[in-house]
Amino acid sequence: MSGTKVVLVAPNAEGGLVRDAIACGADGIVLETELESSLGPTIYCVLAGQMVVPGVARRTLDRPVLSARERHVAGMVVLGCTNAEIAAKLHIAETTVKSHVTSILRKLGVRSRSEASARILDLSNGVGAGFLSIAEPDPALDVFRNL
């Protein structure tokens, strides 16, 4: 039925649960920990035509903002490069790559490199590969090249 409304009671708002629920047609999401206080208002809003998600889940729905370097690293993660390969290509320490990957995973609301790649490349509800940057690093910025 096209008039059917769906409110999901979710155990948490981690990972892509909220994003996936919306992609599957949920009109509202209530966290189990907020069931008593939120179910009634959520149903009311959904019946009024609104989509309702917990405030803590909003970051998983927004398009993430990555720094230029994070976009470089994310592009190379999507290509399947290891941290060591990324570090060598971008002329940065492997620990710096790890830091960037951790930040990227947090911003995308995912737990693994494969989930990050899937979210970036998913045409239906991903963030889109258009925000990646896999261009060669600028040699003028490589202060160690002549050492």
Q: What is the pTM of this model?
A: 0.59
Structural domains of the chain sorted by starting position, each given as residue range(s) with its CATH number in brackets: 7-61 (no CATH), 68-141 (1.10.10.10)
**Per-residue pLDDT for the chain (147 aa), expressed as one digit of tens each?**
468 899 989 888 775 777 778 878 889 999 999 989 999 999 999 999 998 988 887 766 767 788 889 989 999 999 999 999 999 999 999 999 999 999 999 888 788 999 999 888 876 656 666 666 555 555 555 544 444
- What is each CA distance from 47 to 4, 27, 34, 50, in whole angstroms? 10, 9, 19, 7
- Rg of the chain over CA atoms, in angstroms? 19
Q: Which of 67, 68, 66, 73 is nearest to 89 (CA)?
A: 73
Residues 56, 36: contact at Cβ < 8 Å?
no
